[in-house]
Amino acid sequence: MLKISIVSLLFIAFAIPSLAAECLKYEPEIVELKGMVKRVVFPGRPNYENVKAGDEPEPYYVLFLSKGVCVQGDPKDDINCEAEKDVKSIQLIINDYKKYRPLLGKSVIVKGELLCAQTGHHHTNVLLQVKSMIAKPN
């Protein structure tokens, strides 16, 4: 019985840090994610609830991941303090939408910095400031 308890404790001691190590980190760390990029229209001002009911449409590119990821929060950081689990969609912050338009609907590899949603214009809990995005090779 004692042998089983020791084995269990060792497993927990080694498994928990390795799980935390798999989580992505917020800015300034650069991350690389793979998924499908799509254009999504979200409701904007004034109520951020429903475009059909009169809210302004806010089109953004969103990266849809086939497998959810976790993001490690930093309690010392006022902006990126929230940890997130099973993130499967990430709003992309892009300076030049036209540049990436040919990649819509395709599998891509995106590099950039993650950040927490801060405003009503942020429509996913985690966003990615895009540094580069390329089509995923077949």
Is the entire prediction scored with pTM above 0.75? Answer: yes
pLDDT digits (tens, 9 = 90+) for 59-72: 999 999 999 999 99
User: Encoding tokens for residue 120?
Assistant: 């009503």
pLDDT tens, position by position, 48-57: 888 898 889 9
Q: Are strands 107-116 and 57-72 parallel, antiparallel or unpaired?
A: unpaired
- For the chain, where are the alpha helices, taking DSSP H only? 2-22, 97-100
pLDDT at 133 over 80: yes
pLDDT averaged over the chain? Answer: 86
Ordered structural domains, the chain, with CATH: 23-135 (2.40.50)
97 forms beta bridges with none
Predicted confidence at residue 108, as pLDDT, reads 98
